[in-house]
Structure 1
Amino acid sequence: MNITQEERDAVYKTIFSRRDVRREFKPDPIPHDVLERVLLAAHHAPSVGFMQPWDFIIVQSPESKTKIKQGFLQAHAEATELFEGQRKEDYKSLKLEGIEEAPLGICVTCDRSRTGSVVLGRTAKPEMDLFSSVCAVQNLWLAARAENLGVGWVSIVHDHVIRDTLNIPESIDIIAYLCVGYVDIFHDTPDLERSGWLPRRDVSSAVHFESWPDSK
């Protein structure tokens, strides 16, 4: 099946306009068929040994969101103390989650035992199942953007908070907690680039041929 130029351009537009959304969520509910399409796209991510180790927990309860938000506030306070001077003040000024504002959260997990202890393709790199689950996150994110849904990845929260809130067994790895919903606006540039936290690297500085570049 060949991809047409129009379809190709739509894929690149989706990739380049994807954003980590924190502050622009609207309360509008996500239609069931839209959510199903996004989750189906996530479920079609590549996975090592075709083990499909992911699961998706949909979080809509205000009580659950509040518990996760409290976990974020604790982890955020801890992180604040790791920065110094102006960097600390800049960090404190950033909006870094939309847990209670987004109409729903999606927790993406990884069951590392799903197809047994020996997995095709995981024998030399055992972490490949974790990477596979991250591919599911990226698929979900891009599909959501194609549906004009915003997604925000909340990484500033300890796993035990999400595990206890969502009753996730210790044997299951937590990959991501995502805030998902319609938004007022998709900005042209990422929040952290726009705020001056860091610039985007030029792609030429990240591409090397044949070997790692000479560091001298």
Structure 2
Amino acid sequence: MEYYDVIHRRRMMRTFRDDPIDDDAVERIVSAGLQGPSAGFSQGFAFLALESPDELERFWATNAHNDQPERVRRAPLVIVPLACKDDYLDRYAEPDKGWTDRDESRWPVPYWYIDTGMAALNVLHAAIVEDLGALFFGLPTEDWPAFRDAFDVPEEYDPIGAIVVGHPGDEEVESSADTRDRRDVEDIVHGGDWGTAFR
């Protein structure tokens, strides 16, 4: 499949069947996330991959503030991307980076979240290549303690959200993409100066 086809086919799927996913496909999907960029090659992200009925039940039980419908919960795979700020602060205190401390104020934006988001996007794209659907959704911070407790996730790892992956279901489910148009290049890309048309 051509790369640009993958980009254009990617949509947030909101209904799934419970058919299992081939083990090799799961391996390829999670491995794709490892290819994301990371500042200083810190690689301060991790994935928690949940497949067994017990794991999935425990995961959904921790979602008290973000109740997804049954048509989403049917998906046989949940991948939780996690960001670790400490890995970045430690990496940039190493001699080759020129900093001597772990001062978080040096970072203009939290790259640990940005890099983890890029890794998550690789997972979403890999699901398309495998002819599957995927949905990314946020995990409210109120639910983080229960999630960490349920899966023994260390405190320094923040779940930036969750990705459910599976075979698309048959229900017709309207989403914002059905009611809103995607903005044009002219509306988003500025050429040179802000407000100047791109090309």
Of the candidates 149, 164, 178, which is equivalent to residue 179 of structure 1? 164
Q: Structure 1 residue 166 and structure 2 residue 157: aligned?
A: no
Q: Structure 1 residue 11 and structure 2 residue 3: aligned?
A: yes
Moved more, 168-177 or 11-20: 168-177
Q: What is the rounded CA distance, in whole Å, between the counterparts of 2:146 and 2:165 in structure 1? A: 19
Structure 2 residue aligned with 1:21: 13
SS in 2 for 1:162: helix
Structure 2 residue aligned with 1:130: 113
Q: Is the alpha carbon distance of 1:63 and 1:40 closer, same or farther for their aligned partners in structure 2, counting shifts above 3 Å?
A: closer
Q: Is 1:21–1:150's contact at 8 Å kept on the other side of the alignment?
A: yes
SS in 2 for 1:41: helix
Q: Which runs of structure 1 show a deviation greater than 4 angstroms over 4 or more consecutive aligned residues? A: 95-99, 120-123
SS in 1 for 2:191: coil
Q: Can you list the C-alpha shifts for 1:75-106, whole angstroms capped at 9, x where unaligned?
A: 248xxxxxxxxxxxxxxxxx767552001111
Unaligned runs of 5+ in 2: 99-103
**Aligned alpha-carbon RMSD (Å):** 3.0
Which amino acid letter does the alignment assign opposite residue 79 of structure 2?
I
Give the C-alpha shift of residue 170 in structure 1: 1.6
Which amino acid letter does the alignment assign opposite residue 155 of structure 1?
G
SS in 1 for 2:82: strand
Q: What is the rounded CA distance, in whole Å, between the counterparts of 2:14 and 2:159 in structure 1? A: 20
Query: Percent identity at matched positions?
Result: 27
Q: Is the alpha carbon distance of 1:51 and 1:118 closer, same or farther for their aligned partners in structure 2, counting shifts above 3 Å?
A: closer
Q: Is 1:60–1:104's contact at 8 Å kept on the other side of the alignment?
A: yes
Correspondence list, 1:1-216, <5 A: 10-23=2-15, 25-72=16-63, 74-76=64-66, 98-114=71-87, 116-119=89-92, 120=97, 123-155=106-138, 157=140, 158-184=143-169, 191-194=175-178, 196=179, 198-213=180-195
SS in 2 for 1:114: helix
- How many residue pairs get matched? 183
Unaligned runs of 5+ in 1: 1-6, 78-94
Q: TM-score, normalised on structure 2?
A: 0.77
Q: What is the rounded CA distance, in whole Å, between the counterparts of 1:60 and 1:118 in structure 2? A: 32
Give the C-alpha shift of residue 163 in structure 1: 2.2
Q: What is the rounded CA distance, in whole Å, between the counterparts of 2:152 and 2:48 in structure 1? A: 10
Q: What is the rounded CA distance, in whole Å, between the counterparts of 1:22 and 1:28 in structure 2? A: 15
Q: TM-score, normalised on structure 1?
A: 0.72
Q: Is 2:139–2:159's contact at 8 Å kept on the other side of the alignment?
A: no
Q: Is 2:133–2:165's contact at 8 Å kept on the other side of the alignment?
A: yes
Give the C-alpha shift of residue 139 in structure 1: 0.7
Q: What is the rounded CA distance, in whole Å, between the counterparts of 2:145 and 2:71 in structure 1? A: 19
Q: What is the rounded CA distance, in whole Å, between the counterparts of 2:72 and 2:52 in structure 1? A: 11
Q: Is 1:99–1:105's contact at 8 Å kept on the other side of the alignment?
A: no
